[in-house]
């Protein structure tokens, strides 16, 4: 039964890694366990985790979405623009939007960019890496163009236009926890429910596991792929909103390289780049490892250069362990099958 | 010209995989200038034994002798250096490279050890291909070749390494009869040159024809060796499965019911002009099993895929139980009552990352959905029902589907199709990669499904399968239905004659 115990340990490797990292920094860095620091870390983790949840959908379906950081940037800019300006309709009317409308518009924009990614991949058959690399640039360019490279400052909101609640999204607290963490909790709960318990979730895993077999089973593969990119775009827009709200400013460079951390979180959490494998819970733990590792190293005064090296090594180690687990799992399964026969 | 001592010998070779004894002290002799047939059901250990001889795997016990001297091969390259080469069941060619590049892959000829001497590679490739009577252009891309030609390139690769022992693992499984004939010619010639050929195949008739020595494995053990001329096919089957071959399923007893599938004027254009499926019309009635026979490239698979709606450029109408489904996509046709069990299970039949249970319910998730979510209890009961109905042998519903035997995997794919409650079941090569013993079980299952009212349309390249299963025989040739016969009137000669392209006027 040694194989089974080992397999269990391997399955829990990300959780073990999280415990180890937490224990290490608690011992090594004073104040690490303080509630203020924990809340701060949770906020950092929340942003990456929300992006990573969207990416998990895409990755499980066998794709990749490199555009999420840019989408977060552009949606933040659009939120900032709409907070400060009205949109001209016709020749002399200027329509101002209230907070609720702004949130809807921004989220819809994220979903629309996801739809575009999905159409490129599923209908026009562009390789996901290339399609989303393209939108990464296009969307980032659009963010810069939207303000000519400048920041939209002072997004404090205005009661007259019904936007005064804006800073709450990224800066407010609810029962002692940041609002962004609650947003993560809601998104994670829905995302997990969909993957585990709905036909759509099952179909996403099937498409990532074997798209041809899925199609022959009557699953509309293209539609499933498009949905995953839309989910990813939605999550990116949520992150864009949270950041603009927290900083009370929208900067066009916001979100650069965010996609890399999000991919790292999904992969650490067990998502397979070849599709078919990955879980929301795993991704959450993966995002926590990345976040704790990053913040812990900052607190210990580890240089930013070394931080990158260490983060890279952790990702490679995770993938190596993942491969080892798959081999072990296969061996155990074969042994069981043999024992039965 | 049988050599007195064998070219190569495996002595008491054993192979242990975790928990599985794949080979148990097997002796095997490979004679020069002869076709040494190795035969056994799937899982009998044939492929493992060959992999050990070709250096792909190492034996757990026992030894190999080449020309009387003990050898051990660390890897396939080491075996090849000693002239022991294997042509794998799945072709291992690089479609994006030329014939010559494929032949010399991994041991490129270089000028001064730096750049590839293309001229010399091409010349040598041309020479080997000429020896095989296949003067293909060595610069042609492998992707432009037929499967039969690719097989020749594989053999050329072995010959270019001066193979003295050539292992062919199911070389005809993807070949048409004509291509297989060519291969047999090549084998006869290699024999004359004194090459020791090891030949693995499931096709007993063909083994009987070309084999000289026969060795039968069962459950990892050697059960019999004989001279091929002294034995017959029933003897081989008896040795393989340990009993006589069970009686084959007969023609339909019942009267076919209403028409459940009507295909009218199906047309699928070929990329470079012409048609893969050329104005095909057919009909299948409830309770009827219709078999489509044809050589490789006759358009069987493409016809089934067109009926299923996988081929977007296919035209013509498809009606299921009187309802026109021509405008529906695959998903719509599944809902309308068509299901396809494809030829290549791993590639398009099941989802390898899924368990048995998840594969079974994949095509019918809607049935198990309550409001938004899947109802695990209903799903589980459907899974239990189909595993027991189809007698799927698995450790449990959550077992990964990839750990099942070929026959049981096939049952999972069929079970998945059945859960959609189809009116018509399309089966492409229903027993490809299934043991001889398990084939009969598949036939009985298909017959039972038809008796329960399903219309079955299956495609096959095996005559035996056609006559064992079909109530009505359709022969396809170059996209056209060349013959339509009831089972009783179908004899092998007329079927073969209809399937083979007419000799063209010179």
Query: What's the CATH number where B166 sits?
Result: 3.40.50.300
Residues B324 and B376 in one domain: no
Same domain, B64 and B206: yes
The reply to whether B315 and B433 lie within a common domain is: yes
Measured between alpha carbons, how far is A210 from B347 in angstroms, rounded to an integer? 7
Euclidean distance between CA atoms B390 and B356, whole angstroms? 13
Closest CA to B409 of B349, B457, B353: B349
The residue count for chain B: 506
In angstroms, what separates the C-alpha of A15 from chain B's closest C-alpha? 23
CB-CB contact of A104 with A172 (8 Å): no
The model's pTM is 0.79
Which residues are B307's β-sheet partners?
none
Contacts 24+ apart (CB under 8 A), A200-205: A200/A224, A200/A227, A202/B358, A202/B362, A202/B365, A202/B374, A203/B365, A204/A57, A204/A60, A204/A61, A204/A228, A205/A60, A205/A276, A205/A277, A205/B351, A205/B353, A205/B354, A205/B358
pLDDT digits (tens, 9 = 90+) for A116-159: 999 999 999 999 999 999 999 999 999 999 988 898 988 887 87
Final residue of a structural domain among B406, B421, B436:
B421
Q: In chain B, whose CA is at the least distance from the CA of A3? A: B18
Which of these three, B183, B207, B241, is where a domain ends?
A: B241
CATH number at residue A201: 1.10.3470
pLDDT at B246: 46
B120 lies in some domain: yes
Helix (H) or strand (E) holding B60: none
* Domains of chain A: total: 1
The pLDDT value given to residue A339: 64
Domain assignment present for residue B346? The answer is: no
Answer whether B351 sits within 8 Å of A198, measured CB to CB: no
Say how many C-beta atoms besides its own lie within 10 A of residue B478's C-beta: 17
Q: Closest residue of A to B337, CA-based? A: A218
ipTM confidence score: 0.85
- Is residue B345 situated within a structural domain? no
Residue B195 contacts residue B165 (beta carbons within 8 Å):
yes
Q: How many CA atoms lie within 13 A of A248 on its CB side?
A: 12
The reply to whether B435 falls in a domain is yes
What's the domain count of chain B?
A: 3
Do B217 and B141 fall within a single domain?
A: yes
Contact A334 B20 (CB under 8 A): yes
**pLDDT one-digit tens code per residue, A231-277:** 999 999 999 999 999 999 999 999 999 999 999 999 999 898 889 99
Q: Tell me which residue range forms the domain holding B190.
A: 8-241
**Is the domain of B276 the same as that of B191?**
no
Residue B325 within any structural domain of the chain: yes
**A203 interfaces chain B, CB cutoff of 8 Å:** yes
Joined together, the tokens standing for residue B274 give 């012409």
For residue B1, give Cα distances in angstroms to B111, B160, B168, B191, B226.
Answer: 41, 24, 21, 10, 17
Mean pLDDT of A79-94: 85
Looking at B241, B267, B294, the residue that finishes a domain is B241
DSSP B5: S
Q: Does A191 touch chain B (CB under 8 A)?
A: no
Q: What is the DSSP letter of B33?
A: T
Residue B343 lies in a domain: no
The reported pLDDT for the residue numbered B249 is 52
Structure tokens that stand for A250 in this block: 């929208």
Asked if residue B342 is part of any domain, the answer here is no
Whether residue B20 and residue A338 make contact (CB cut-off 8 A), yes or no, is: yes
State the residue range of the domain holding A225. Answer: 2-340
Over residues A65-76, the mean pLDDT reads: 96
Chain A residues close to B18, C-beta within 8 Å: 331, 334-335, 338
- Amino acid B251: pLDDT: 54
3 state SS of B155: helix
* B52: closest CA of chain A, how far (Å): 20
Instruction: Please check the confidence at residue A50 and state whether its pLDDT lies above 70.
Output: yes
- Give the pLDDT of residue B1: 44
Percent of chain A's residues with pLDDT above 90: 59
The DSSP H or E segment spanning B472 is strand B472-477
Select the residue of B335, B351, B400 nearest A210 (Cβ to Cβ).
B351
Q: Are residues B330 and B441 in the same domain?
A: yes
Residue appearing with tokens 């415990």: A19
Cβ-Cβ contacts under 8 Å, A336 against chain B? 395, 399, 403
Token digits of residue B261: 């599938």
Give me the pLDDT at residue B89, please.
Answer: 63
Helix (H) or strand (E) holding A53: helix A35-60
pLDDT (tens, 9 = 90+) of chain B, 506 residues, equals: 444 578 898 889 988 765 557 788 899 999 999 999 988 776 678 888 888 998 888 888 888 988 888 888 888 888 888 889 888 766 678 888 889 888 888 777 777 777 777 788 888 889 888 887 778 888 888 888 877 788 888 888 888 888 889 998 888 766 767 777 888 888 898 888 889 999 988 777 788 888 999 999 887 888 888 888 888 877 887 787 665 544 455 555 566 788 999 999 999 988 767 788 999 999 999 999 999 988 767 889 999 999 999 988 899 999 999 899 999 999 999 999 999 999 888 889 999 889 999 999 999 998 899 888 899 999 999 999 999 988 888 888 988 888 787 788 889 999 999 999 999 999 998 887 676 667 888 898 999 999 989 999 999 877 778 888 888 999 998 888 988 888 777 777 778 778 776 543 33
Same domain, B409 and B426: no
pLDDT at A157: 77
User: Across the interface, which of B340, B354, B400 has its CB nearest the CB of A216?
Assistant: B340
Task: Please indicate, yes or no, whether residues B368 and B321 belong to a single structural domain of this protein.
Answer: no
Q: Which of B255, B254, B234 is nearest to B245 (CA)?
A: B234
pLDDT at residue A258, rounded to an integer? 94
Q: How many helices (H) and strands (E) does chain B have?
A: 16, 24
Question: H-helix or E-strand containing B136?
Answer: none
Q: SS3 for B305?
A: helix
Residue range A285-320, pLDDT digits in tens:
999 999 999 888 988 888 989 998 998 998 888 888
CA A81 to centroid of chain Cα atoms? 24
Please report whether residue B3 resides in a domain: no
Query: pLDDT value at position B4?
Result: 58
């Amino acid at each position: 039964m040694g194989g089974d115990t080992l397999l269990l340990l391997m399955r829990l490797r990300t959780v073990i890694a999280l415990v180890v990292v937490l224990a290490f920094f608690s011992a090594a860095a004073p104040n690490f366990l303080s509630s203020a620091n924990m809340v701060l870390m949770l906020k950092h983790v929340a942003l990456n985790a929300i992006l990573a949840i969207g990416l998990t959908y895409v990755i499980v379906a066998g794709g990749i979405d490199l555009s999420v950081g840019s989408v977060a940037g552009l949606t933040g800019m659009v939120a900032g623009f709409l907070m400060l300006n009205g949109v001209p309709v016709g020749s002399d009317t200027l329509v101002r939007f209230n907070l609720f409308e702004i949130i809807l518009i921004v989220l819809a924009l994220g979903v629309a960019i996801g739809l575009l990614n999905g159409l490129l991949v599923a209908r026009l058959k562009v390789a996901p890496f290339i399609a989303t690399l393209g939108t990464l640039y296009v969307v980032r360019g659009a963010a810069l163009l939207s303000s000519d490279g400048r920041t939209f400052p002072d997004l404090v909101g205005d009661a007259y236009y019904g936007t005064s609640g804006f800073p709450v999204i990224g800066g407010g607290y609810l029962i002692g926890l940041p609002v962004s963490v609650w947003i993560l909790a809601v998104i994670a709960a829905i995302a997990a429910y969909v993957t585990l318990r709905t036909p759509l979730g099952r179909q996403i895993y099937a498409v990532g596991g074997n798209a041809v077999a899925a199609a022959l089973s009557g699953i509309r593969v293209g539609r499933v792929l498009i949905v995953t990119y839309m989910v990813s775009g939605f999550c990116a827009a949520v992150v864009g909103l949270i950041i603009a709200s927290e900083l009370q400013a929208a900067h066009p460079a916001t979100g650069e390289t965010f996609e890399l951390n999000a991919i790292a979180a999904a992969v650490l959490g067990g998502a397979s780049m070849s599709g078919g494998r990955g879980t929301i819970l795993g991704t959450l733990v993966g995002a926590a490892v990345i976040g704790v590792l990053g913040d812990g190293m900052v607190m210990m005064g580890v240089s930013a250069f070394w931080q990158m090296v260490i983060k890279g090594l952790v990702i490679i180690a995770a993938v190596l362990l993942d491969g080892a687990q798959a081999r072990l799992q296969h061996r155990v399964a074969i042994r069981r099958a043999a024992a039965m026969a | 010209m049988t050599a007195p001592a064998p070219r190569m010998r495996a002595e008491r070779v054993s192979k242990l995989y975790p928990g599985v004894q794949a080979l148990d002290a097997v002796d095997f002799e490979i004679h020069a200038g002869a076709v040494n047939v190795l035969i056994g059901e799937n899982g009998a250990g044939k492929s493992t034994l060959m992999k050990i001889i070709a250096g792909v795997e190492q034996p757990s016990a026992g030894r190999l002798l080449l020309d009387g001297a003990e050898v051990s091969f660390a890897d396939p390259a080491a075996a090849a250096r000693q002239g022991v080469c294997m042509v794998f069941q799945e072709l291992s060619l690089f479609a994006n490279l030329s014939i010559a590049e494929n032949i010399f892959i991994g041991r490129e000829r270089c000028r001064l050890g730096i750049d590839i001497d293309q001229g010399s590679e091409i010349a040598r490739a041309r020479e080997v291909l000429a020896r095989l009577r296949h003067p293909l252009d060595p610069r042609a891309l492998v992707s432009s070749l037929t499967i039969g030609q690719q097989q020749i390139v594989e053999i050329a690769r072995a010959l270019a390494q001066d193979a003295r022992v050539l292992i062919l693992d199911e070389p005809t499984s993807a070949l048409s009869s004509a291509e297989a004939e060519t291969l047999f010619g090549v084998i006869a010639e290699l024999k004359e040159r004194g090459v020791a050929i090891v030949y693995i195949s499931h096709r007993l008739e063909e083994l009987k024809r070309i084999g000289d020595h026969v060795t039968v494995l069962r459950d990892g053990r050697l059960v019999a060796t004989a001279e091929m001329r002294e034995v017959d096919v029933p003897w081989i089957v008896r040795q393989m499965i340990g009993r006589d071959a069970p009686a084959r399923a007969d023609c339909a007893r019942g009267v076919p019911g209403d028409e459940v599938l009507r295909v009218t004027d199906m047309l699928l254009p070929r990329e470079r002009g012409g048609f893969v499926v050329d104005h095909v019309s057919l009909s299948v009635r409830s309770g009827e099993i219709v078999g489509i026979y044809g050589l490789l490239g006759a358009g069987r698979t493409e016809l089934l895929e067109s009926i299923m709606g996988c081929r977007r450029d296919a035209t013509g109408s498809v009606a299921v139980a009187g309802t026109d489904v021509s405008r529906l996509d695959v998903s719509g046709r599944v809902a309308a009552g068509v299901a396809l069990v494809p030829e290549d299970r791993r590639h398009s039949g099941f989802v390898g990352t899924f368990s048995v249970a998840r594969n079974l319910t994949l095509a019918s998730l809607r049935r198990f959905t309550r409001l938004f979510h899947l109802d695990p209890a209903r799903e589980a009961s459907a899974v239990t029902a189909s595993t027991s109905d189809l007698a799927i042998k698995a450790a449990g519903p959550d077992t990964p589907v990839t750990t099942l035997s070929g026959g049981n995997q096939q049952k999972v794919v069929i079970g998945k199709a059945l859960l959609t409650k189809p009116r018509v079941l399309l089966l492409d090569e229903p027993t490809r990669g299934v043991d001889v013993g398990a084939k009969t079980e598949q036939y009985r299952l298909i017959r039972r499904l038809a008796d329960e009212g399903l219309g079955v349309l299956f495609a096959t390249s095996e005559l035996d399968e056609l006559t064992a299963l079909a109530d009505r025989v359709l022969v396809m040739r170059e996209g056209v239905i060349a013959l339509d016969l009831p089972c009783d009137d179908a004899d092998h000669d007329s079927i073969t004659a209809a399937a083979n392209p007419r000799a063209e006027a010179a």
